[in-house]
Chains A and B, each alone.
Chain A
Amino acid sequence: MARLSIEHLRKVYGEFTAVDDCSIDIAEGEFLVLLGPSGCGKTTTLRMVAGFIQPTAGKITIGERDVTNLPPWKRNCGLVFQSYALFPHMTVAENVAFGLEMRKVAPADRAARVAEALRLVQLTGFDERYPRQLSGGQQQRVALARALAMEPDVLLLDEPLSNLDAKLRLEVRVQIRDLQRKLGLTTIMVTHDQEEALTMADRLVVMEKGKVRQIGTQRELYEKPADRFVAGFIGRSAFLDGAMAQAGHFRSGGGLDIRCNAPASGPATLALRPERLAIGAEAESCANRFPARVEHVSYLGALLDIDVRLTEQDRILLQLPNRQGAAEPKPGDMITIGWAEDAGLVYPREP
């Protein structure tokens, strides 16, 4: 196990910058998740760490070793592919033993380590099967065992769960996480499933258009998003466009004067988390209180999603717990909504 550091990593394809000045430090034993919309450069970053893509610029260090210019086979990165990439002509045991064989581990020791790796992923007894005789979930676990058996310095997972059905995904997710903890593996996982990212990660990296937007824990990303993109990407936010007319006062496009903790600046966007909004009597004590018209109500079981309109230009999404039996707002109702001064996060307006 080792720490991993990525410094000012860049990858340029012709005119197109796939990864732009990406710096990430991963502590020993940490589980880091790369999250971002499709095409933002997650896979490219991961493959540069694994050594399959030569970075245009930047430096990658594993432990004390600068691996930037090492070929993949000298990096000791365990890699699990979305497509599993098992060797179809080898049995499960041969697949798992492959990395050990390449490292010239004595055949006698190999068997024990293969058995141990298969035990970790709960596939004891599957040694003699070929990959085509396994289910998707089992293949996935063989791929994991194969990467673990060689005791990698870092474990790299590229959307390892996306080919599994929803139920299996939950199971394997927990398994991977438990194993990672137990073995203290330094791990980077790529995913675009937010829930997966939030449940598995120690820290997350949010990327967009090749750039790192924010690195932090789940709580930091949710409660203190660094910019408007992160506020919209992690969890849900209601956005109001307007301007910071003076310190502490946000003026919305529809002319509302909203109290918030931010200095004066130019055009800005106010982001509100749905659960920070109160309605009716609960709104009475809030610094910001506005009458609103209910536009639309969606029933989501435990929650009700409510679209409300404050003015012609200002619309907000509320999320209320579904208290069964209590009166529910209906479209057309006038209600009062409110939020605290510190609930609104202000970001410079982005195009």
Chain B
Amino acid sequence: MLVVPATIFVAIGLIGPIAILFRYSLNQFIPGQFMVDGLTIENYVKFFTDAFYLNVLWRTVRVAVVCTIVCLIMGFPLAYVLARTESRFKNLLIMLVVLPLFVGNAVRAAGWMTAFGSKGALNASLMGLGVIDQPLEIMFTETAVIIGIIAVNLPFMVLTLQSVIEGINRNVEEAAFSLGAGPAAMFRRVLWPLAMPGILAGTILTFILAMNAYATPVLLGGPKFQTMGPLVYGQFAQQNNWPFGGAISFILMTATLLLTIAANLIVQRRYR
């Protein structure tokens, strides 16, 4: 009985809009007339036949995959240390990891802008040190967007992994060591497989967040750097093309879902 309210909420709050969106995506768009009821796949055809849109999708996936992989590689050691530390300051360390989330995405992106700009802190210090003599073009590049998204997503990855690693008995690692496994073998044969549920949850979470990122690509990528999130928003808010916006949303959602499922299947086949 207790699950009823949550179920109703999910149904109304999540499935409702998606259903409406899907319905809209089948409508026609006639400039000046806003939206005409219909049942057509022309919005989807438009997306998949235009190299521009396909390019945006490909770029979004690429950025999301890179961000997720980097988050995993950077997040795992951090999560491990957090999970295993016996320091009195453990809670403080966790707060430090979460701290960036206290600042909204937009504010943070603005911070990155000041850091990455051609006269920003990074270039100024590198040039000051004589490492480079031309400012690096980081702002409004894919690199800037990737760095920005990683900074947003890393805490989610770390917290997810940390809670799973904490559930792995330290003795199991020690048993592996005593049986002759060095740190690399222990990691590969024991820690990684046992942390797999957390790795899956963390990568899915960060991947979805990265696929749908909005503020970071807009602010750090600039107007010419299009990803799916801003594209959807543009169609709704600027072009007023709700049917096409709906179609793009649906494509984004489906792509995210399919890639997540595919990755899961591959991983699960490899690890039992």
Chain B neighbourhood of A150, CB < 8 A: 179-180
Do A89 and B169 contact each other (CB < 8 Å), given the known contacts A98-B189, A102-B179? no
Pick out which of these stretches binds chain B: A33-41, A77-85, A133-141, A220-228. A77-85
Contacts of A147 in B (CB 8 A): 178-179
Count how many chain B residues have C-beta atoms less than 8 Å from C-beta atoms of the other chain: 20
Closest A residue to B193 using CB positions? A89
| Residues of B152-189 whose CB lies within 8 A of A | 169, 171-172, 174-182, 185-186, 189
Known A-B contacts A89-B193, A89-B194, A89-B272; the reply to A102 vs B171 at CB < 8 A is no
Binary interface profile of A, 95-127, with partner B (CB < 8 Å = 1, else 0)? 000110011000000000000000000000000
Q: Kindly provide the distance from the CB of B164 to the nearest chain A CB, expressed in whole angstroms.
A: 13
The answer on a CB contact under 8 Å between A71 and B177 is yes
Q: Which residue of A lies closest to B182 (CB)?
A: A73
Judged by a CB distance under 8 angstroms, whether A87 is at the interface is yes
- Closest chain-A Cβ to B186's Cβ sits at a distance in Å of 8
Interface size class of A (residues with CB under 8 A): 20 to 34
B151 at the interface (CB under 8 A from A): no
Which residue from chain A places its CB closest to the CB of B181 in the assembled complex? A102
Cα A217 to Cα B171 in complex, Å, equals: 32
A134-162 vs B, CB cutoff 8 Å, 1 = contact: the mask equals 00000000010011001000000000000
Check B180 against A83 for contact (C-beta < 8 Å). no
- Is B189 in contact with A77, judged by CB distance below 8 angstroms? no
Q: What residues on A are CB-neighbors of B171 within 8 Å?
A: 81, 83, 85
Interfacial chain B residues near A50, Cβ < 8 Å: 174, 178
Q: Does B94 contact A (CB under 8 A)?
A: no
Is A52 a contact partner of B174 (Cβ separation < 8 A)?
Answer: yes
Q: Does B190 contact A (CB under 8 A)?
A: yes
- A102 contact set on B, CB distance < 8 A: 179-181, 185
Query: Are A79 and B180 touching (Cβ within 8 A)?
Result: no
Residue of A nearest to B185 (CB): A102
Q: A83-B169, A85-B169, A87-B190 are in contact. Are A99 and B174 (CB under 8 A)?
A: no
Contact B174 A103 (CB under 8 A): no
Contact check, A87 vs B176: say whether CB atoms are below 8 A apart. yes
Q: Does residue A267 face the partner (Cβ distance < 8 Å to B)? A: no
Cross-interface CB contact of B181 among A75, A77, A83, A98, cutoff 8 Å: A98
Contact B174 A73 (CB under 8 A): no
How would residues 197 to 239 of chain A score, 1 for a CB under 8 Å from any chain B CB and 0 otherwise? 0000000000000000000000000000000000000000000
A99 to B189, CA, bound (A): 12
* Across the A-B interface, the 3 shortest Cβ-Cβ residue pairs: A85-B171, A99-B179, A102-B180
Interface, chain A (partner B; CB < 8 A): 50-52, 71-79, 81, 83, 85-89, 98-99, 102-103, 143, 146-147, 150
Residue contacts A-B, CB under 8 angstroms, 11 given: A71-B177, A72-B178, A78-B178, A79-B174, A83-B169, A86-B175, A87-B190, A98-B189, A102-B180, A103-B180, A146-B175
| B interface residues (Cβ-Cβ under 8 A, vs A) | 169, 171-172, 174-182, 185-186, 189-190, 193-194, 271-272
Beyond A72-B177, A77-B178, A143-B175, 9 additional contacts (C-beta under 8 Å) are A73-B181, A76-B180, A85-B172, A87-B176, A99-B180, A102-B179, A102-B181, A147-B179, A150-B179
